[in-house]
Amino acid sequence: MITEATGVSIGVLVLAVGGLLTLWWRIDGLVRSERTAREAALKEEREAREKADTNDGLARAVLVQSLQAFQLEVAKTYVSAGQLKEVRQEVAAGFERMEGKLEGIGTEIKRLSIEVAARPGRARTDRS
């Protein structure tokens, strides 16, 4: 006879197996869809190669021309990593110089305010 504990254990086991099967089903579906997409991409690539092979000379000339145009556009438009690093360093150095100057101004303002406050015969007037 099945006791309550055995029934609960069987229920938990069935639930766990069902969860594992569902997880397996989902993963299998993702793998299959990825495989199908990869096969479709390979098929398209193969067809493109076959088509390019038929017009190889013209296709190569067009590809070379497109690549050269792209390289020229990149050279005109984009900045190299080295140039970007150099600009960052210059900006950082500028901020550091500015920080030093601001600290110097703050120190000078403090010094002047102490000097003015310490002058003899200087009476404060309250403006309310």
122's CB contacts (< 8 A; 6+ apart) are 116
Phi first, then psi: give them for residue 98, nearest 5 degrees.
Answer: -65, -40
- 97 in a domain, yes or no? no
**Is this structure's pTM higher than 0.75?**
no
- 21 in a domain, yes or no? yes
59's CB contacts (< 8 A; 6+ apart) are 51, 52
- 111 in a domain, yes or no? no
- 74 in a domain, yes or no? no
Question: How many domains does the structure of the chain reveal?
Answer: 1
Residue 2 predicted with pLDDT over 80: no
- 88 in a domain, yes or no? no
CA atoms within a 13 Å half-sphere pointing along the CA-CB vector of 31 = 6
Q: Which of helix, strand or coil describes residue 120?
A: coil
80 vs 41, higher pLDDT: 41
Structural domain boundaries enclosing 49 = 1-56
Q: Which of helix, strand or coil describes residue 126?
A: coil
- 17 in a domain, yes or no? yes
- 115 in a domain, yes or no? no
Point out the least confidently predicted range of 12-21, 28-37, 70-79. Answer: 70-79
Percent of the chain residues topping a pLDDT of 90? 18
Residue type, 85: K
Q: At what angle do helices 4-54 and 56-77 cross, to 10 degrees?
A: 110
What are the pLDDT digits (tens) for 92-117? 999 899 998 888 898 999 999 998 88
In this predicted structure, what is the pLDDT of residue 93? 92
**How far is CA 102 from each of CA 90, 94, 96, 111, rounded to the nearest angstrom?**
18, 12, 10, 14
Residue type, 30: L
- 25 in a domain, yes or no? yes
What are the pLDDT digits (tens) for 50-63? 776 776 777 778 88
